[in-house]
Amino acid sequence: MISGIFVRHYGIYKNINYIPLSDGDKFTSIIGDNGVGKSSILDALDKFMNPKDAGDWIINKQARLEGGIKTSDKAPYIAPCFLIAHKDAAHFSPENLKTLKIISNYFWTTSKKSQLEDFFNHRELLIQNQAHHTNYLLIIGRQHEEKDPFFFSFETELKAALTAKSTPKPDFTRATSNLLAQVLESYTYLYIPVETNVGSFTKLETNNMQILMDKNIQDAVGKTITEKTVTDINSKLDKFITDIEKILPSYTYKAPGKKNKLTKLDIIQKTIESYFSIKVLHKKINKSDISVENLSSGEKRRALVDLAYSFLMSGEKRDKIIVLAIDEPESSLHIDGCFEQFERLKNIAEKGHQTIITTHWYGHLPIASSGKSILIKKEDNEIQKHSFNIANYREQLNQEKDKTKGRLPYNVQLKSYNDLTQSIIASIQNGYNWIICEGSSEKIYLEAYLKRSTLNKYRVLPAGGAPEVLKIAKFLQTPLQDKDLSPSGKIFCLIDTDRDSKEFNKDNAIKCLDVKRILREKDTIQLVEIESTNKSPVTEIEDALDSILFLKTLRDLATPEINKIIQEESVRADAKTSGYCLNLRDSERELLNEFFSQPGMKYQFAKKYTLEQLQSPPSWIVDIVKIFGGEFKNSIETEKTNTTKDGNTTEQVKKPSKPKRTQKPTPTTRKKPSTPPKPKIENKAV
């Protein structure tokens, strides 16, 4: 992946700048006001990863006016910092791998700081994350109007390191040029700037679409083109050229480079280009097909992400590492479409494809569970960078405020909640329903059951803990008090019952927003009000599952210690809920809690649980679906609804499709099978 980038005199960046882009996660957002250099970062990477004419470089205007940028010590340059997994470099040639190892060892260990403090701070973070054990670290750049690799102030030491133990001494320029060529061959950098012509981008013959398709289509076409076909085409064209040269003896055709014959790949690519040049992408709207050229700007932008999403989310193995870079994916998009747009980008990153975006929509911060965000600001003509991990960005932003004495350009946290709130409110006016829960495991369980309900337009948003769920609910309450709003959708917020009590002052006049917590009462799960006096026992989503599937999943994933405590004598055979199905001692309960507290275990457990054959949904999920006016067809029959004093509901439910739990009969209760009566024989006259 690309973990950072050095730029000098490029775009808005004057002098040497280092911008960290990833601590190991695949998602990166670059935020800040207009004109601070967000797009310059993506553009610089494009110029390096997809080499173009030097005239395409955007040289800093002030540096150019001041002159002297053509000298080697002042020339503009672009130098990405690569974090290359050991397994991804396994296919490198022995010579290139040797060069990479030497350079990587130097960059992981050198202490030469000077103007590069930002890089060394980022490197320390990478080392804390143990990245140096599984990745090579490579910084390699290019100067403006130069082709050879460039290592700025590191070059002298790198030359010494590369030649120290080698006999004969390798040529430094040749060795690093070969390494750079193989690195670029291993990566595909797909850049979608704001001004992208969507019509040309979506034509499947373009380079962008062939990048997304990888080599699948090339392999398919290649099977129909034999080497004999290629030889015949070259032979006939050579004869044609020879005939022309006979007619024009004063002229000749010569190849400007070493290549003077068409290759099979040339013919494949031209065949694909010619075929798809007559195809235009259309969007299906009801019974009509609308050309993408005739869509609105926002719909065109959505089409770009839809295309990238569709190709990159496919499970097919790719030959190259994909880096998707998008400028302002929310550009021209209606506010209610932002959430879905960013949800797709987040999914692309979770699939394993590095995704780097610039954006003004801060609503992605509360909904992303991992990644890095870089806030860029300009103050006194100086570019400042504030980077933070999205998983705990609130705490890090507070620390940044303390460091900068409150000089951050605006409250990023406040803007992130405002943007998300606007998107949610806009969508419920268009009939969408929202369930806001604590984490990704809750989302997995809920979506697994909800897809069997009659609900169609719904979104499940994991907020990252009960405090965040309630904070979003509080942000939603104020605008929802506007009587001019006419939402046709609803919002339901769900949290666990924790040891620490939670407070939420619910406005009962708002009918489209409801906030509840789950609570276990022996073998029944209820949805109770936040302020309900019933606050024990502690109830998490793992306590509210089907007992049979819970135990099956637990046994599949359990450690030997856990297996010891879930023996038959500990299981309540007739229990319906997971939180009641085990009769454990306090020490055993603590052991089970520690099991679920392992990093990623709740997520892994949820994925495994939902792969099983789900039976009728738990009654509390039925209650949630009813809040939205939906139901579960042919899977559950409601007998009775009981209402408690504090307005909470419980249900008794028939589960016809679920196998009955039975106990083996004890010896005292076993009965001998009855002997069938002998048939009565009658004599009849014949």
Cα distance between the two ends of the chain = 96
| 421 token code pair | 């709130």
| 250 token code pair | 């004063």
Q: Is residue 421 part of a domain?
A: no
The CA distances from residue 432 to 285, 429, 491, 506, in Å, are 19, 7, 9, 22
User: Do residues 181 and 297 both lie within one domain?
Assistant: yes
Euclidean distance between CA atoms 196 and 216, whole angstroms: 25
Residue with tokens 């373009």: 206
pLDDT tens sequence across 466-513: 998 999 999 999 999 988 888 999 999 999 999 887 888 888 889 999
| Number of domains the chain contains | 3
List the single range of 73-82, 314-323, 435-444 with lowest mean pLDDT.
314-323
pLDDT at 315: 66
pLDDT at 73: 75
Is the pLDDT confidence value at 680 over 90? no
Confidence band for 450, pLDDT divided at 50, 70 and 90: very high
Q: Is residue 148 part of a domain?
A: yes
Confidence band for 601, pLDDT divided at 50, 70 and 90: very high
Q: Is residue 684 part of a domain?
A: no
pLDDT tens sequence across 135-172: 999 999 999 988 899 998 889 999 999 888 677 788 99
3-state secondary structure of 4: strand
User: Do residues 181 and 112 both lie within one domain?
Assistant: yes
Under 8 Å CB-to-CB from 207, ≥6 apart: which residues? Answer: none
Is the pLDDT confidence value at 648 over 50? no
Confidence band for 656, pLDDT divided at 50, 70 and 90: very low
| 325 token code pair | 């870079």
Last residue of a domain, one of 279, 311, 327: 279
Q: How many CB atoms are closer than 10 A to CB 440?
A: 17
pLDDT at 113: 67
pLDDT at 528: 93
User: Do residues 472 and 576 both lie within one domain?
Assistant: yes
Is the pLDDT confidence value at 609 over 90? yes
pLDDT at 10: 93
Between vectors from CA 425 to CA 422 and to CA 431, what angle results, nearest 5°?
145
Q: Is residue 661 part of a domain?
A: no
Pairing of strands 354-358, 288-291: unpaired
Closest CA to 324 of 42, 5, 47: 42
User: Do residues 175 and 296 both lie within one domain?
Assistant: yes
Give the domain range for residue 370: 2-197+285-412
Is the pLDDT confidence value at 218 over 80? no
User: Do residues 187 and 322 both lie within one domain?
Assistant: yes
Q: What does the mean pLDDT of the chain come to?
A: 84
Q: 519-529 burial by CB neighbour count: b if 16+ within 10 A, else e?
A: bbbeebbbbbb
Q: Is residue 116 part of a domain?
A: yes
Confidence band for 542, pLDDT divided at 50, 70 and 90: very high
User: Do residues 116 and 212 both lie within one domain?
Assistant: no
List the single range of 316-330, 493-507, 666-680 with lowest mean pLDDT.
666-680
User: Do residues 325 and 179 both lie within one domain?
Assistant: yes
Report whether 343 contacts 242 (CB < 8 A).
Answer: no
User: Do residues 456 and 502 both lie within one domain?
Assistant: yes
pLDDT at 649: 45
pLDDT tens sequence across 324-347: 999 999 988 888 788 889 989 999
Is the pLDDT confidence value at 270 over 50? yes
User: Do residues 476 and 571 both lie within one domain?
Assistant: yes
Residue scoring higher pLDDT (450 or 273) = 450
List the single range of 181-185, 334-338, 665-669 with lowest mean pLDDT.
665-669
pLDDT tens sequence across 408-421: 545 677 788 888 89
Report whether 545 contacts 615 (CB < 8 A).
Answer: no
Q: Is residue 670 part of a domain?
A: no
Confidence band for 541, pLDDT divided at 50, 70 and 90: very high
pLDDT at 531: 86
Residue type, 216: N
Q: Is residue 419 part of a domain?
A: no
pLDDT at 644: 44
Residue scoring higher pLDDT (654 or 528) = 528
Under 8 Å CB-to-CB from 591, ≥6 apart: which residues? Answer: 561, 562, 565
User: Do residues 473 and 453 both lie within one domain?
Assistant: yes
Q: Answer whether the bond into residue 537 is a cis peptide, omega within 30°.
A: yes
User: Do residues 590 and 481 both lie within one domain?
Assistant: yes
Last residue of a domain, one of 368, 384, 412: 412
pLDDT at 201: 72
Is the pLDDT confidence value at 281 over 60? yes
User: Do residues 483 and 342 both lie within one domain?
Assistant: no
pLDDT at 610: 93
Euclidean distance between CA atoms 432 and 487, whole angstroms: 9
Under 8 Å CB-to-CB from 548, ≥6 apart: which residues? Answer: 661
Is the pLDDT confidence value at 640 over 50? no
Is the pLDDT confidence value at 678 over 60? no
The CA distances from residue 234 to 231, 247, 567, in Å, are 5, 20, 75
Is the pLDDT confidence value at 20 over 90? yes
pLDDT at 664: 42
pLDDT at 114: 63
Q: How many CB atoms are closer than 10 A to CB 280?
A: 14
For 476-479, the CB contacts below 8 A with 24+ separation are: 476/421, 476/424, 476/425, 476/513, 477/507, 477/510, 477/513, 479/421, 479/422, 479/425
pLDDT at 45: 96
Last residue of a domain, one of 279, 309, 343: 279
Q: Is residue 135 part of a domain?
A: yes
Indicate which CATH number applies to the domain containing 306.
3.40.50
Average pLDDT rounded to a whole number, residues 303-312: 87
Report whether 530 contacts 517 (CB < 8 A).
Answer: yes
Closest CA to 541 of 474, 472, 466: 466
3-state secondary structure of 459: strand
List the single range of 46-55, 553-562, 582-591, 674-683 with lowest mean pLDDT.
674-683
Please give the model's pTM, rounded to 2 decimal places.
0.74
Average pLDDT rounded to a whole number, residues 282-294: 86
Is the pLDDT confidence value at 395 over 70? no
Average pLDDT rounded to a whole number, residues 554-569: 89
